[in-house]
Amino acid sequence: MNELVFFINNVIVAGSVSGSIYAIGAIGVTLIFSIMRFAHFAHADMMTFGTFMVLLLTLAFPGVGAVVGLPTPIVMLPLAIVLTALLAVGIDKTFYKPLRAHGVKPIVMVIASLGVTLMLQGLIRLFSGTGAQNLYLAGERKEIYRLEMPFELASRPVIVTEPQIILFVLTIVCVVGLHLFLNRTRLGKAMRAMSDNPDLARASGINTNHIVAVTWVIAGGLAAIAGTLLALDVTFKPDLSFFLLLPIFAAAIVGGVGHPYGAIAGGFVVGFAETLAVFNWAVLLRPFRDSLPEWLAQAGNLAFVGTEYKIVVPFFILVAILVWRPTGIFKGKVI
């Protein structure tokens, strides 16, 4: 049974963690695409920026968390969300809006977003240094919950950490909130209308500039959440985005670009595919050692790919989806 617990810890928990993070990131990418029709490459750096804001705020007010009873970075998250949303709107006003006004092709916007990526990354590196930093400062510790399994044979517990629990809760809140927003509110419907037919939206009196700004606020806010929760689970690094960009785009495309529910599903598909691919299947075979052929029983490592090559998994999924089902699991394009 310990093998099963090992499987739960390394695949179910770990997959849910990366799945949630990819899902929240991919929602932003997909919303931006459905409203502005371009792939926003700087999205992962907006995540890093949000995380960096949390780091700065935590450094500035290290004692706040203890008062509330939550980790300080979590308490600082709402403020970081606001700052990242402002950054997103600011970047749009400064870099993307003039291009849109000239009616450039989407590829020009994509290249511009690559420029923004480099700029943001440079800026963050300039202020944060190049090393990894732990978001848990001031002697705070990651709470670790050990869930004992009710089986006699399972001596090892399932391990979930506090930031992981917060991540799961926030993911559910984000998904439900987004669903209600898009389907119940007038503004959400106006967003759907604009992604469907921008000319008609304008002719129906919908202020499309306003919708664009709202899109950036939502995307920026979600980016801050995803980035921070990832950094809480591991550490903050200025080049965090390099590890996120590919899986997030893979998630958005797997789900069908422009489809927020697809992005959520895609996020979990990519997250679980990663953890399943690097999982050492030999562990699960161990209890059946005696009944297996010798060559299989002897194998020490039966992972599909080594952990160092984890990044090839979303890349493979991306290629496979583009070849076999280019519209994604859900048909994309319109919210």
Binding site for another protein (CB under 8 A): 185-187, 189-190, 192-193, 196-197, 199-209, 214, 334-335
Kindly state the tokens that stand for 290: 């005696």
CB 62: neighbour CB atoms within 10 A? 14
Burial class, 235, CB count within 10 angstroms (exposed 0-12 / middle 13-18 / buried 19+): middle
Q: Which is nearer to another protein, 88 or 246 (CB)?
A: 88
Report d(CA 14, CA 166) in Å as an integer: 14
CA angle 41, 320, 249 (to 5 degrees): 15
CB of 78 to another protein, least distance (A): 16
Return the number of the residue (141 or 186) whose C-beta is nearest another protein: 186
Q: Find the shortest distance in angstroms from Cβ 185 to another protein.
A: 5
For Cα atoms 264, 267, 272, give the angle at the middle one, nearest 5 degrees.
130
Nearer to another protein, 17 or 206 (CB): 206
Joined together, the tokens standing for residue 238 give 């200025």
**Nearest in space to 170 (alpha carbons), one of 209, 222, 120, 208:** 222
Whole-number minimum distance, CB 292 to another protein, in Å?
52
Distances (CA, A) of 241 to 1, 2, 22, 253, 308: 37, 35, 12, 18, 17
Min. distance of Cβ 335 from another protein in angstroms?
Answer: 8
Closest C-alpha among 132, 3, 118 to residue 55: 132
Task: Say if CB 286 and CB 293 are below 8 A apart.
Answer: no
Compare residues 100 and 142 and give the one whose CB is closer to another protein.
100
Closer residue to another protein, CB minimum distance, 37 or 192: 192
Nearest distance in Å: CB 312, another protein: 35
3: which DSSP letter?
A: H
Amino acid at 267: G
Residue 323 has, within 13 A of its CA and on its CB side, a CA count of 6
C-beta of 202 vs 289, nearer to another protein: 202
Nearer to another protein among residue 213 and residue 305 (C-beta) = 213
Of the candidates 121, 118, 119, 138, which has an alpha carbon nearest to the alpha carbon of residue 55? 138
Nearest approach, Cβ of residue 201 and another protein (Å):
8
C-alpha span between 295 and 23 (Å, rounded) = 39
Least separation in angstroms between CB 205 and another protein: 4
For residue 225, the minimal CB distance to another protein (Å) is 18
Comparing CB distances to another protein, the nearer of 199 and 308 is 199
